[in-house]
Structure 1
Amino acid sequence: MSATVPRALSFDSSAALYAAFRPGYPPALLDTVEELAARPLRGARVVDVGAGTGIATRLLRDRGARVTAVEPGPGMAGELRRALPSLPVVRGDGNRLPLATASADLITYAQAWHWTDPALALPEALRVLRPGGALALWWNVADQSVPWIAEQDTRLRSHFGVEDSAHGTPGGTDSRNLPQLSGGGFAERLLPWSRTVPVDAHLANLSSHSAFLVRGGADAEPNRRFLDEERGHLASVFPDDMVEEHYVVELAVLTR
């Protein structure tokens, strides 16, 4: 079993936490997807792979796309079905898409491409896309140009190990397993945005990441101690208990 599989499925037991506290995406994201894919989302047949609890799926549907969600985890898929009961949800993953050839105008991966084997997932996406269709991959990454976020990231890496964090690692193509293609590759954009949430919501968002989940979640004593200490650090920056989270969405779009 790939080392990424337990981490990818770790979200399953915390699907409700994930749905409640993970950030969404700015309106500029789907505007830019439409620009780079050179087609509107309204009326498009879209496959959202690794859909999780449907955070991106809902936004795509609300833009008028005809969306099918693909999700491997039963807990995440169940949460998605409760949230969007009329939307088709298919159990599967990007390495083996359970979909017909040339059946989609757009395939999206929101926070999910890094859980695939790109050598399998890219041919599968190209098989399912219609001619002229597009593959769109994106990630919310904490903006470490903001001093308090950089300091929190240092603490997270001290807690988990230097290679791990609950922030996501910025880096674009080189750190995202994007295949290197000849004759035209991915078009990339960086989209900064922010949201303001209560400190409890910020800490719950942190604890919904795989770095915490594979180590027992927020209830494990070392993680609980870390989160308690983090509350104190945040109080010194945000005395009103409202945290301004800053993100950069890293977007990559490939047109077939």
Structure 2
Amino acid sequence: MTSSTPRALSFDSAAAQYAAARPGYPPALLDTVEELAGRPLSGARTVDVGAGTGIATRLLHARGALVTAVEPGPGMAGELHRSLPSVPVVRGDGNRLPLATASAELITYAQSWHWTDPALALPEARRVLRPGGALALWWNVSDDSVRWIADQDTRLRRHLGADDSAHGTPADSRNLSQLSGGEFAQRLLPWSRTVPVGTHLANLASHSAFLVLGAAGEEPTRRFMEEERRHLAAVFPDGMVEERYVVELAVLIP
């Protein structure tokens, strides 16, 4: 994550769960980043900001990108370093990147741009990018055109509050309107994964909406997850949940 706010740093308490349960991204995502950025990832000096446990960092590294991860949370950064010891991890904030001017060809924010103040983060990205470099932002958002996902979203909002969910960041919270002053493109990339029901529930529980509840929320969360397991059993009697997502990608070449 990128911000030092309590909600952003709440992930530190569940770093291992986050790494084990959160979804990755389809191969088409990085293909599309290359297309829109106009350069291959292999050999590109890349900064993954708000890298968390390294879910996106790992994929960028596997493509041959020369990645530096930026992450403020000590628990998340530690989990990332354990799984990717060869990748540099810098403790820092997306609003104040601890990186040299014109030192990167690509800056990525996977699930993390909404934790920044764009009035600070966008100028910082422009400072750190080399001429012709690209800023890529993306989110996994649950596909609520699928009936069971829409039903689950309703239950989540009833439990957490009407403006909150664990299905993805609301579009109006992503601050994309400030991405101007260059070439800008967006893409939607649908994909899915099939996981045991326990992994699906652990994924839900790893979202900040649950984590910020802390000790006071442990018993209500346990009851909610037990009820959710029963709902899922009716839809997926074999215990394997097909999670459907749409990756929302935005790329800016300032």
Which interval holds the TM-score relative to the shorter structure? over 0.9
Structure 2 distance, partners of 1:14, 1:118, is 26
Question: Which amino acid is the alignment partner of residue 166 of structure 2?
Answer: A
Report SS of the residue matched to 2:249.
Answer: strand
Report SS of the residue matched to 1:220.
Answer: helix
Q: Could you say which residue in structure 2 is the equivalent of 1:20?
A: 20
Q: Could you say which residue in structure 1 is the equivalent of 2:164?
A: 164
Query: Does the Cα contact within 8 Å between 1:33 and 1:253 map onto a contact in 2?
Result: yes
Report SS of the residue matched to 2:41.
Answer: coil
Question: What value does the CA root-mean-square deviation take over the aligned residues?
Answer: 1.6
Query: Does the Cα contact within 8 Å between 2:4 and 2:93 map onto a contact in 1?
Result: no
Within the candidate set 189, 192, 195, 2:190 is matched to: 192
Change (3 A) 1:192 1:181: closer
Structure 2 distance, partners of 1:182, 1:163, is 27
Report the CA distance between 1:168 and its aligned residue: 1.1
Q: Could you say which residue in structure 1 is the equivalent of 2:62?
A: 62
Structure 2 distance, partners of 1:102, 1:120, is 17
Question: Which amino acid is the alignment partner of residue 176 of structure 2?
Answer: L
Change (3 A) 1:202 1:218: farther
Change (3 A) 1:217 1:230: farther
Change (3 A) 1:102 1:246: same
Query: Could you tell me the TM-score, scaled by structure 1's length?
Result: 0.95
Instruction: List runs of 5+ in structure 2 lacking aligned partners.
Output: none
Q: Could you say which residue in structure 1 is the equivalent of 2:199?
A: 201
Aligned length: 252
Report SS of the residue matched to 1:195.
Answer: strand
Report the CA distance between 1:78 and its aligned residue: 0.3
Instruction: List runs of 5+ in structure 1 lacking aligned partners.
Output: none
Change (3 A) 1:96 1:40: same
Q: Deviations over 1:212-240 (max 9, x none)?
A: 10012797000000000000000000000
Query: Could you tell me the TM-score, scaled by structure 2's length?
Result: 0.96
User: 2:121 aligned with 1:93, yes or no?
Assistant: no
